[in-house]
Amino acid sequence: MLENKIRLLYMLQTFDLKLMDLEEEKGDLPGIVRNLNRQLQELLSRIDEIQRTIDGHIATREQSTLDAESLNDRAESLKKQLYEVRNNKEYDAITKEINQAEAGITRKLQEADEHDSKQKELQTQLDEHKQKLETLKTELTERQSELQSVSKVHEKDELQLNHEREKIARQIPGDTLLMYDRIRVAKDGKAVVPIKRGACGGCYKTVPPQLNLLLRKNDEIHICENCGRILIAEEIAAEVNKVA
Ligand SMILES: [Zn+2]
């Protein structure tokens, strides 16, 4: 079997498509792992933020309770003073102070209550976030090990495919190889397409009937006038596919 240039190009493309598939498969997982990592970091900082807010509410609640207690002590001692007053004016002044202290106690206890319920509300949120964190961690671990094993497997395949590709590429003239690469980049990786039922296998535009025959016989490169891809005879493509 005569190894013609187009046949070699088509073989080259078979390897390039396989390499592209490997890249695509692998290309998905690093993105997923990156994304999960980002979500994890966001969740961790959210948890940290909620925890700090909770701590703030706890501290404020404790302070309010302490304030209420000291106001209570103050009210108690004022009440004792009432027994020792000498006139109405003094009595009124102390009573006023007691009322103020008692109003303060009510206010401080109310504040403590508010901080308490806010803290409980946030605690529920925190628990939910922590649960989410566990789920995320598990998924990340799974995906990371998946990526690791895929990379490992692909490493071997990639090396093998690149080796085979090089062997073929070495037999193709440099300018032809350049043309192939240019078309490949422009046409989503498919530079060489077989003629199928009288039409270009890339863009499905009909090609001259004698072209398939011509492509079977000589080594000339024919480009599809419509899409610019290199055409290969249907039969030669089938032979290459059988081997690959
Ligand atoms: Zn075409």
Ion ligand 1: residues, Cβ under 5 Å: 200, 202-203, 224, 226-227
91-117 burial, b at 16+ Cβ within 10 Å, e below that, comes to eeebeeebeebeebbeebbebbeebbe
What CATH architecture does domain 21-169 belong to? Answer: Orthogonal Bundle (1.10)
User: Residue 221 C-alpha to ligand 1 middle, in angstroms?
Assistant: 14
User: Each residue of 57-74: pLDDT tens digit?
Assistant: 999 999 999 999 999 999
Task: Say if pTM beats, i.e. exceeds, 0.85.
Answer: no
User: Residue 239 C-alpha to ligand 1 middle, in angstroms?
Assistant: 21
Q: What is the mean pLDDT of the chain?
A: 92
User: Each residue of 91-121: pLDDT tens digit?
Assistant: 999 999 999 999 999 999 999 999 999 999 9
Residues of the chain with CATH 1.10.287.1490: 21-169
User: Each residue of 160-197: pLDDT tens digit?
Assistant: 999 999 999 999 999 999 999 999 999 989 999 999 99
User: Residue 48 C-alpha to ligand 1 middle, in angstroms?
Assistant: 58
User: Residue 9 C-alpha to ligand 1 middle, in angstroms?
Assistant: 16
